[in-house]
Every structure is written in C-alpha cells, then in structure tokens.
Chain A
Amino acid sequence: MNFDPSHSKRSFSSVGTRPIRPDGVDKVTGRARYGADFNMPGQLVGRILRSPHAHAIIRKIDTLKAAQLPGVKAVLTAADLPDLTDGDAAMYDILDNCMARKKALYDGHAVAAVAAIDARTAKQALKLIEVEYELLPHVTDVDQAFAPDAPLINDTIFTTGVDPKPDRPSNVSMRSQFGHGDVDAGMARADFVVERTFKTEQTHQGYIEPHACVASVSSDGTADLWVCTQGHFVYRQHCAQLLGMDASKLRVTSSEIGGGFGGKTHVWAEPVALALSRKAGRPVKLVMTRDEVFRASGPTSATSIDVKIGALKDGTIIAADATLRYSCGPYAGAWAEVGAMTAFACYKLENVRTVGYEVLVNRPKTAAYRAPSAPMAAFAVESAIDELAKKVGMNPIDFRIRNAAQEGTKASYGPVYGPIGIGPTLEAVKNHPHMKAPLGRNQGRGMACGFWFNFGGQTCTDLNIGMDGTVSLAVGTVDVGGSRASLSLVAAEELGIDYSQVRTVIADTSSLGYNDMTDGSRGTFSSSMATISAARNAIKILRERAAQMWDILVEDVTWEKGHAVAKGETHGNLPKLSLKEIAAASGTTGGPIAGHSEIVADGAGVSFATHICDIEVDPETGATKVLRYTVVQDAGKAVHPTYVEGQYQGGAAQGIGWALNEEYIYGKDGRLQNAGFLDYRIPVCSDLPMIDTQILEIPNPNHPYGVRGVGETSIVPPLAAVANAVSNAVGVRMLHIPMSPPRILAALEA
C-alpha cells in the first residue's frame, strides 16, 4: 500500500485514545454469543469417539449397534470422509487428524462420531461403537522419538532438507538451517564459551472456551457453519476442500471467540460436524469437552535444544550455534524451523548457525501457540546469554545492549532489519525503576529479550456510510481481544469523525472477500491498513459528491476533520459540508457511499520486547512465587493503548505459567495423565503480581500510522526471564521448563 511515510510521525486525534470497546456491554451482560451459545431448530448433538491408545492400527470399526440405538441419526467413520485432498499433504494430515483413517496416532485421536437427538443418547451411542485395535509401539518424548531406533510413526516420512535423501524413513520429517558467517572459526576465537542443552515440555494454549460449532447442510448442497475460530475464511476453505464443496456454498460465521492463541487456526471437529449434518439431514452442534481439548486439539511443541555461544573478552559475541528439536505431533510440521529462525534474532552476529529438526511423536498434532516456537528457543538462548555475560564479567543488560541487533543488522534468519526496537527496550529496562527494587533472601531477578516476525497477509474491508452519516465497518479478521475498538478508532481517525459514529463488525464469509486468519499478530495491523485504505477510497467519493453538490471541480475539494472543504479564492467562501450532510444527499448525488479495500498487508514490522522478572523460591518446597514483573515492548504505534497493555500482560502471564507449572504429562502407556484444568494448572489470580508495562513506539515505516503487531511477542521472553531469575535465586542454572517444585528441588539437590 502506498502512503506518505510522514504519517508515521503525525499527531492523532482518535488513535491512541482509550475508549470502551464496542462489543463490551454484550460481554459484561452475558449477551455476547460464543461458539456454544448458538442453537438451530431441529439440531442434533454430535459427539466424537476417541482412541485410548497412543499408536494402534484400526483393524475394524463396528457401528451397527450404535446406528440402531433409538435417537441416533448418523454414525460416521473415516469411510464417510473420502480423501479429496488431491495430493495436498498438509490437507491430508488435517483430514486424518479429524478422523483417523488407518491408524490411531495418539491418545485422543478421533476414530468415529455420532449425531443423536440429545447428549445422553449420543454418549450412549459412542459406547456401542466397537473398535478393534492392533497396538503398536509408541513414542511420546521428543528426544526418544529423534533416536534412530525409535518406534516409527509414519513409514512414508523421509527427512527432507538433507543431502543425500535418507534411504530409510524416520520420525524426523525435516531438517532446516539458517545463519551466516563461519561459526566454527568464530567459536575457535572465543575467549568464553557457554554450551548447554535445554528442554521444554509441551503446553496448551489453554483458551477457556472449548472448540464449538453448529453445522447445517441443506439437501441442495449449501451449508452454514457457526464456529469459534481465529479464521472463518480459512475454516471455510479447509471444510470445503475436505468435504468436496464449493467454498461459496459454505457460509461460515465466526462467533465471539473465547480465546484461541493459535489453537483455533485450523479445523478439528468442524468437518466432522458438517459431515454428520450432511448424513443426518439436520443441523448438528458439536462442542468439545475440556478433556477433548487437551487430548485432541493442538498443543505446542515439546523441545530439546542445544546452544553454544562464544564471546570475546570485550563482550562481543563472536559465534552462536543452536540445534533445535521440536515435536510436531504425529504429522510433519515446520515448528523447529520457526524456532531456528527466531533463536538469535535479537542479536547482531557475524557468525551464526541454527539447525532445526521436526520430530514426529505420538501426541496431538502441534498447533500454533502465540509466537509459535519462539519462546522455547528464546528460553535456551537467553539462558545461555545470561550465563555467558557472567563469564565475561558484564551485567546481563550491558552484555545484551552491546550485542543487540540494530537498523541495518543482517538478521540471523536472513533479512536486513529496518528500524527496530530491541536496543530501545533494553535501554528502557536498564533505566526502569524495577531494576532498583530491593531483593531479599531466596529471591532473584532475571531478564530476557524476545523477538517475533509479525505477519500481514490477505485482508479486505468494507466501509459503508449510512444515509444518517454513521459508518459500518465490516472486517474479516476475527476480533480476539479488542480489535473492533482499534479498527473503529482507525476509521474515525481517517474520516475525521467521532469513534461513536463507527460500528465495526466481523463479516461472515459470504459477505466479504477472503481474509487470512487472526494470527501472526496481524489482526489490528492488517485490518487497520485495509481500513485506512477503504476510508481514503470513501473520502475520494465524499469529495466527488461535495464537488457535485457545490458544482465545482473535485480538485478544489479537500477533506478536513470530517468535512468537505472547498479551497481557493473562488470557492473559499462556501460553507463546509459535513460527512453527515453529504451522506444525507447521497440518494440524489449517485447512490450509496462506500470505500472498499482488498490488499496483501505487506510490511508487518518485526517486534521486540525485554522483560524483567523477580521471583522468590521456597527452598523447602521448591515452589516459586513471582514478585514483580515488567514488560517493555515496541508497539510501533499503540492504536488502543489499554488493549496493547492487555496483550503484553496476557502473554507474560501465559509465559509465566509455561515457565513454572504447565506441562503435558504422559504415562508409559502413552496416555495423557492431566487432561483437565485441575492437573494442568494455568496461573490463577493469586499466582501473579500486577504486571507492569511500558509501551515504546518506534514507528513501522511500512504502515501508514506506524503500527506493528503486538499480540505475540509478549510470550517470548518470560520462559527465559523467569528461568534466569530462578537460576539467580538458587545459584543453579535451570535447564528444564517448567520449573515445577519437584524439578527445582531436584536441581537444588543435584
């Protein structure tokens, strides 16, 4: 999108203010409708039967008894979902994950489904389905799965990215490598070297709303899907492809979404619900239980990471090397690749190399989780950086400042940075009052940096001006946490009208062109770009209409503060026309006034943050309490600063949970042992302190207002910040996340 770069330094009237969000009242009164809050007349209840085994061949499924149960209207197995993916391997994996085709690949893998008149009949029907399994050896640990003699999960997987191609299959689906310079030569010159292996356990996004949808397929082949999703256009595409439908015949409406964090970016049960509805000829509502969410939606990778970093006596990092093994569930993934790209992205390095390995395991298919793959890499790298700073004899902030990437630095993953915020966040942390807060016995302070790419993507927006001069803004990026407020602010800013005059809605897939998902921190970034462009297109028409009303040339009309203004000596005396006056006349000046925009929102500015964390460890129990926490992050331009702060705080809290408590625990039998919020413990209110935030604004030169995505980076530093704090408190380097009480006690006793 072309724009005047000086806009990045402009002053704003709406953008940067903190109004109440437009969807707020509905959300505090219970009126807002989420995935499970919608019903259709005649709807059935769908339920899914899941494998109790980590790895098994499905010999036979007998559904006869279930089908004969009174009240059961459809029973479904993989046989009802023929493979229409036409060689698209990624889509085939999604299909197989929705309903196991030949093998059950993890505890929780769907094997059959029913639709019945009510939940109790559906549950009863599941018990009547007989599945004959032939158990296979399984592997759930990333390091064990990486070993050459591990049980093989998929015999068609041959590691890509290695030359020559391996002659036998393995659990490693891909090797990727990034970097530049000569790492071995650099390491040889180092005066100090830190070399460590780190491990992180698998975590879940932990959104409070389970996956839920209502599917209704008509006998004419058209269909409607109501669903909680981060991307209803993507869900439409996935479902249409898997079910052999034209995308235009499937209308997907995104409900309010009760959290996603990456976990609602691809389909799980939605194609099953549609297939059940098609088979039963009635609408089907399918809501996952919490147990199903843990066992069968997409958690993040478990990882095992080797890091080696060398520095000269003067504190310059001379070489950096990392090997990252990320679990991707039982299907090929590209998670280690992302980890390898982000690992050293904060630093200016002459010699850097990262190698990533994607490792198949008998666990649920890995999905994105907020800045996917970056937090684990940052944990490893930032822990090693802290240790190296100590060896060099520098404090960890000065050591990082000395080596921080700058504008013009060639990033470890390839590109050359424009204006970036890593240095400023470090300087802000150095000067932050948090750094001067006193620490007592068993207490420690840690800090860490984090990076995320951010994403732009396909975006379109319709801005319609009503006859009364108020504005309807239809966007296609799902609002996961306040973006309707931000986009209303942007439209108000651009048109020069009041925030209250704009209503932003999320349009369904039949009412707007294709939009990528709300992922990659793109929601406000990309849709604000499209909104600005749509508003400018509308202003062009508003100026034309005003020119017509005045009977002057459009070139003589400017748009200022919500009004058409005639300019020049000839017309300067004409009274200005408000948007409302022009809208009221639209019926006689050429019809409705609207602005549209269809863009690829290129130029998402990279994002950096630095966090500070103070903790206290109880040496008796190994329990860790977070005492103080501060987030400093570059927002480019904060459109609605309160919601920017909310993103900073929320990411930090998730990272703290990951660092201290959260993990998937599998038994030797390959079954998940803690598939509930009691045993998979996310932070509660009494676990956390206030989370202080500082928003820096280093404008993104590629956005008209300087906006960068802000949603994800905040989860990148906490694992390392907490680990550095704990390591400083107990005097032992913590190498394994989460640092649960037993792990801390074990480290203290080692």
Chain B
Amino acid sequence: MMTGIAVSTNINSDNAEFLCHADETLLDVLRDRLGLMGAKEGCGTGDCGACSIILDDRLVCSCLVLGAEAEGRRIETVEGMAQGDQLHPLQQKFLEHAALQCGICTPGFLIAAKDLLAKNPDPTEEEIRFGLAGNLCRCTGYDKIVRAVQDAAGVMRGA
C-alpha cells in the first residue's frame, strides 16, 4: 500500500517532486529524500536555526515545516546561494572574516542573513544581532559573523 503524499515544489529554482509521509518534516525530506544536506538538524524543535531555509520569501526552520506543506511553494536552501563557482557576497565575507569555525551552523546563518538583508539592506549592528537571534553558534561568539554580515551588506548595496 502506498502511503506517501506526492508533492511538487520548487527548490533553488529547479522543479522537484517527491513522495513523503504525512508526518515527515521538510528537513527530513530535503536531507533524506532529496540529498540536500546543507540544512542541518541541530535540535529538531526550531530552537537552533541550523535547518533554516527560505520558504516563499519567509525564513523558516525546516524542522518545523512538514514536507507536504512544500506543495506549490518556492524553497531556497544554502545550496542555491552560489551561482556556479561565484559565491554569494555573504558566503565570500563569511570566509574572509572567518565567521565560521566548525561550520555546522553556517548554512543556517547564511540563509538567515540573506533573508535579513533582503528585507533590510543596511542594518545596524543591533538589527543584525536581533535578526540572527534565531540561529545558534557555539564556536564564534558571533563577533565575526556580525562583521561578515555588515561587510556583505555593504558589498550588496554597492557601497
């Protein structure tokens, strides 16, 4: 008996189709069914932000979204940020500022920062700190992350 739900969605500008169980999270679908391992599971309860993705222009924890909810939606993950070998300015600035140590939280931070800068291209330090407060990093103390986002925002504004 087939128990899966057929879902048709768009991930990083490509159409994608998958079958999933009704109780399966979008994070599990991305990782286990579609092989997109960029989003990480740090908690499974929406507290760490390591699984952050953008769903129809909204930043969400993919561990709190069901796979079936992706029907007809647009999903952006970290895998879609670079264009070929051209890194997104945020990716480039994270590297230059060493805004990662272990790197497990990095995909989530990059997605959250991308969402933040889309809505606020010139954020203050405080706006960056509150904008990224849903993402946990245990290695850096956030200093270099904030600086990388500030720097990338400048590049993206053409400043």
Query: Looking at the complex, which one of A21, A205, A482, A685 makes contact with B135 (CB distance below 8 Å)?
Result: A685
Q: Is A207 an interface residue (CB 8 A)?
A: yes
- Rounded to whole Å, the gap between the CB of B125 and the closest CB of chain A is 8
Q: Is A654 an interface residue (CB 8 A)?
A: yes
Contact call A482/B79, Cβ cutoff below 8 A? no
Contact call B105/A208, Cβ cutoff below 8 A? yes
Query: Looking at the complex, which one of B37, B101, B138 makes contact with A37 (CB distance below 8 Å)?
Result: B37
- Rounded to whole Å, the gap between the CB of A229 and the closest CB of chain B is 13
Q: Is A33 an interface residue (CB 8 A)?
A: yes
- Rounded to whole Å, the gap between the CB of A714 and the closest CB of chain B is 9
Q: Is A434 an interface residue (CB 8 A)?
A: no
Select the stretch in A24-32, A166-174, A446-454 that faces chain B.
Answer: A24-32
Q: Is B11 an interface residue (CB 8 A)?
A: no
User: What number of A-B contacts does a CB cutoff of 8 Å give?
Assistant: 180
Q: Is B43 an interface residue (CB 8 A)?
A: yes
Count of B interface residues, CB-CB < 8 Å: 57
Question: Which B residues touch A688, using CB under 8 A?
Answer: 129, 141-143
Given the contacts A28-B106, A208-B42, A685-B128, A261 and B138 also touching, CB distance less than 8 Å:
yes
Contact call B91/A207, Cβ cutoff below 8 A? no
Contact call A649/B143, Cβ cutoff below 8 A? yes
**Interchain CA distance A30-B136 in the complex, whole Å:** 17
Contact call B21/A290, Cβ cutoff below 8 A? no
Q: Is A437 an interface residue (CB 8 A)?
A: no
Within 8 A of A (CB), among B27-56: 31, 36-45, 47-48, 50
Q: Is A57 an interface residue (CB 8 A)?
A: no
Main secondary structure of the interface of B (DSSP, over half): loop
**Interchain CA distance A120-B23 in the complex, whole Å:** 10
Main secondary structure of the interface of A (DSSP, over half): loop
**Interchain CA distance A23-B142 in the complex, whole Å:** 20
Q: Is A259 an interface residue (CB 8 A)?
A: yes
Q: Is B118 an interface residue (CB 8 A)?
A: no
Question: Which B residues touch A650, using CB under 8 A?
Answer: 101, 138-141
Question: Which A residues touch B146, using CB under 8 A?
Answer: 685, 690
Q: Is B117 an interface residue (CB 8 A)?
A: no
Chain A residues at the B interface, C-beta cutoff of 8 Å: 18, 20-21, 23-25, 27-34, 36-37, 120, 205-210, 256-261, 287, 289-290, 480-482, 642-643, 645-647, 649-650, 652-654, 676-678, 682-688, 690-691
Chain B residues at the A interface, C-beta cutoff of 8 Å: 21, 23, 31, 36-45, 47-48, 50, 77-79, 81-82, 87, 91, 94-98, 100-107, 110, 125-126, 128-130, 132-146
30 contacts across the A-B interface (CB closer than 8 A): A23-B103, A29-B91, A30-B38, A30-B39, A32-B103, A206-B136, A208-B42, A208-B138, A209-B102, A256-B104, A258-B102, A259-B104, A290-B43, A481-B102, A481-B139, A642-B97, A642-B144, A649-B141, A650-B101, A653-B140, A653-B141, A677-B48, A682-B136, A684-B136, A685-B132, A685-B133, A688-B129, A688-B141, A688-B142, A690-B125
